[in-house]
Structure 1
Amino acid sequence: MQRGISGRFEPSVAHGLACPGFIPTPLPPIPGLEWSAPLQEKLDQAHLALGRLDSLTTLLPDAAMFLYSYVRKEAVLSSQIEGTQSSLADLLMFEEDAAPGVPIDDVTEVSCYVAALDHGIARLAQDFPLSSRLICELHEHLMQSGRGAGKAPGQYRRIQNWVGGPSPSTASLVPPPPQHIAQCIADLENFLNDVPQRHAPLVKAALSHVQFETIHPFLDGNGRVGRLLIPLVLLNEKVLQQPLLYLSLFFKVHRSRYYELLTRVRTHGDWEAWLDFFLDAVQLCATQAVDTARQINQLVSRDRLRIAALGRTAASATLVFEALAKRPVRSVHSICKETLQSPGTVNTALLRLESIGIVREMTGKRRGRVFGYSAYLDTLNRDALFDAPLATSG
């Protein structure tokens, strides 16, 4: 549905240049969402996919093992959208106090994303409301070190910014002037907490993501906070027990369409077109997460059997392997600490695992060596699901 422009403009100034700041109309859309049969079917299919995803927490032998790595994969992808070069292996090596293969600021930025998500999950578990205060806390954790430290962590911007283009006059979006941010976020907080009315969790997540991106309340990190909101909304709504749904890869692959639809919401009020895209993302990403979890579970089970056949080294190799199954990049020191085995025993087990192709050494050094569970990392990094073109609801 084309409702017309979904906000109003107010004069502002950015870098000494006059520009019109866009102030979005509070949610929900007026008129209300128009649920065509195809769009309703997509909503139903997305809910089914989320149900299958949520069941992983009870079906997997060790859901925490998968969650640890999957959260970090999302942190890498979300940060890559903002221009970092860090890979999943870089982040995991950084967490083992090993040197990553990219500038330290890149991997620190990704690590801060993990910290922000962990903080949000912990706050919701304490029944803290999904609120403007929590949004600022997420931003504070996201920008706590590296390049973000000088970008007013946890504070709304006090200057006019813009999105896209070298200047405000060529920008794809000039967000609300600073004096309107607090009210815009307060309106968003009301929507997130069912004022004036309740919306389905997926609809709430979809609409609030666009609204936050339009408000763009911080000097930096807005895209990452906006993407963090999606799993946190679903956790808060009890749709998911664990934060297993992440859409950054989908948004990255379909980046042009993503930005086109955000703009179309602002210029035409076409929330339905955005929802169509968002529900595609949910269904595909949830399906991929389930498939990846099953592949990893099967991989770990197969490799356990391979290790059991090693003979007298099987016992120590199994302890080392289980440590790597929990965290697929580990230093020798870290494995020793977890397994309570000596460095000599751990090194011997790692060499045995390396000889049968289960692990590989990642630093090329003699000291401070770090090993990766190769097939596990390869499975996490396999994203073939998004090669297919997007379907539409018509």
Structure 2
Amino acid sequence: MDKKQRIGRYIKSSAVGGESYNAYIPQPLPPEPPLGMTELYPLLDKANTAIGRLDGMSMVLPDASLFLYMYVRKEAVLSSQIEGTQSSLSDLLLFETHEAPGAPIDDVTEVSCYVSAMHYGLERVKKFPLSLRLIKEIHEKLMDNARGGSKQPGEFRSSQNWIGGSRPGNARFVPPPPEYLMEGLDNLEKFLHDETIHLPILIKAALAHVQFETIHPFLDGNGRLGRLLITFILCTEGILKQPLLYLSLYLKTNREAYYGHLQSVRETGDWEAWIKFFLTGVIETAQQATETAQCIITLFTQDRNAIASSGKSTAAVLTIHAYLQQHPIATTTKIKETTKLSLPTILRSLTVLESLSIAKEVTGKDRHKVFVYDQYLALLSKGTEPLSN
């Protein structure tokens, strides 16, 4: 098999100032010659098994919406960190309780917009096919912040962009020029919906992600939207009932290899190496997500038992413990708004939870206290520390 036949073509273009550069036009999907499936099947079987376990776990969770709420936020933080934001999961949760996060506010707002884009997309794909129009709508939600407002939110680019370097002439990679954009995007949309192409859904998602990143259709937000695309494909095709797979943890941990594989596909046509990397990530991430869910269920059960055997169990203490499961960083104001308990009752109940090492006050202030469900947040936050600059 000559994989080099899969390599796209280069178009010679000239930038302002007369400097010429080569822009890359990818071949349409699926790859030709066809993928060597024999070498992919062992990993594909393992990946399907791991996702099946994760999906099965979502069916037996005491509150699947609770895990969904947190896992979506974890994916949002991780995917944004790949692009360089310094927001942690704690920063995002503080921001959502209207408290000042420790990271730059623009970073946290970007992550919050990712959460909005994910939810918007998941609702829309229940009623509409995954189309270019929908991708533009999701991009508009993703870029609804101070940094994204000037980057043509919801519109495919009308100018040349590039990856690495200070201009197209010295860039590491130059995507298709604007006049070739719709050709590539139309082919990608057809690939997503062509029922004559019989490929496993995980492989389809892996191919679509690279193709989207290669086309790079927006001025900004391509990486985050391309990773959202993976989630949307897996959910619309029924591989996942809930978006509990935070693949960005693996892509963040192996960031250099991730970028290397994207570029290698363009330069060598070796889709198989990328798909093996992708499937390994699915296996690892699905296993981690399943283990995390099991650990969280165990923690909640242990803490409920500790409350019950403490002799201090009241309806209010149990109500606040349940609230902290949904919001592991909380203020007394937010607890009061949601539970309708009185402030003295809330403070007494939190004192009980502190004495049992379940909750912890983190500001040291007399007023405007912030309480953290410490062990729960630690389980959720594993892997979400910002990358060092």
TM-score range, shorter chain: over 0.9
- Distance apart, 1:46 and its partner CA: 0.3
Is 1:64 equivalent to 2:65 in the alignment? yes
> Which residue number corresponds to residue 131 of structure 1?
131
- Taking the aligned partners of 1:2 and 1:321, their CA distance within structure 2 comes to 60
Equivalences for 1:1-394 in 2 at 5 Å? 2-4=2-4, 6-14=7-15, 16=17, 17-37=19-39, 39-126=40-127, 128-194=128-194, 196-383=196-383
Q: In 1, distance between residues paired with 2:202 and 2:14?
A: 36
**1:172, CA displacement in angstroms?**
1.9
Q: 1:13 to 1:328 in 2, by over 3 A?
A: farther
Partner Cα separation in structure 2 for residue 367 and residue 148 of structure 1:
36
User: More deviation in 341-350 or 304-313?
Assistant: 304-313
Q: Which moved more, 1:163-172 or 1:149-158?
A: 163-172
The Cα of 1:11 is off from its aligned counterpart by: 2.3
Counterparts of 1:68 and 1:165, CA distance in 2: 38
**Aligned partner of residue 100 in structure 2, secondary structure:** coil
Matched residue type, 1:55: G
Deviations 1:112-141 (A, max 9, x none): 000000011000122x10110111111100
Deviates more, 1:205-214 or 1:49-58: 49-58
Per-residue CA distance 1:173-226 (angstroms, 9 max, x = gap): 100001111221111111111255232110111000000000001111000001
- Which whole-Å CA distance do the structure 1 matches of 2:325 and 2:368 have between them? 20
What residue identity is the alignment partner of 2:296? I
Matched residue SS, 1:125: coil
Residue 66 of structure 1: how far off its partner (Å): 1.2
Q: 1:231 to 1:195 in 2, by over 3 A?
A: same
**Is the CA contact 2:312–2:352 (under 8 Å) kept in the aligned structure 1?**
no
User: What SS does structure 2 have at the residue aligned with 1:43?
Assistant: helix
In structure 2, the CA distance between the partners of 1:15 and 1:254, relative to structure 1 (3 Å rule), is farther
The letter of the residue matching 1:167 is R
The answer to whether the 8 A contact 2:36-2:272 is kept is yes
1:224 maps to a residue whose letter is: R
- Kept after mapping to 2: 8 A contact 1:65/1:327: no
Q: TM-score, normalised by structure 2?
A: 0.95
Per the alignment, residue 392 of structure 1 pairs with none
Structure 1 residue identity aligned to 2:69? Y
The one-letter code of the counterpart of 1:284 is E
Query: How far did 1:370 drift?
Result: 2.2
Contact 1:213–1:226 (Cα < 8 Å) also in 2? yes
Give the whole-Å Cα distance in 1 for the aligned partners of 2:345 and 2:16. 62
Overall identity of the aligned pairs, in %:
51
Following TM superposition, by how much is the alpha carbon of 1:14 offset from its aligned partner in structure 2, in angstroms?
4.4
Mapped contact 1:93–1:329 kept (Cα < 8 A): yes
Q: Separation in 2 of the partners of 1:66 and 1:358?
A: 19
Q: Unmatched 5+ residue regions in structure 2?
A: 385-389
1:43-95 Cα offsets, whole Å, 9 max, x none, are 01100111011112211111111111111011111111111111101100100
User: Is contact 2:156-2:217 (8 Å) kept?
Assistant: yes
- Does structure 2 conserve the Cα–Cα contact (< 8 Å) formed by 1:316 and 1:346? yes
Q: Which moved more, 1:193-202 or 1:279-288?
A: 193-202
Aligned pairs, how many?
Answer: 382
What is the letter of the counterpart of residue 49 of structure 1?
A: A
Q: Relative to structure 1, is the Cα distance of residues 193 and 320 closer, same or farther in structure 2, using a 3 angstrom cutoff? A: same
Does structure 2 conserve the Cα–Cα contact (< 8 Å) formed by 1:22 and 1:175?
A: yes
Deviations 1:232-283 (A, max 9, x none): 1000101111001121111111111111111111111111011110010000
Cα RMSD of the aligned pairs, angstroms, is 1.6
How many angstroms apart in 2 are the aligned matches of 1:2 and 1:278? 22
Distance 1:165 1:25 in 2: 25
Which amino acid in structure 2 is aligned with residue 46 of structure 1? A
Give the Cα separation in 2 of the matches to 1:102 and 1:255: 22
Contact 1:53/1:289 (<8 A) preserved: yes
Distance 1:100 1:45 in 2: 39
Single out whichever of 235-244 and 334-343 deviates more from structure 2. 334-343
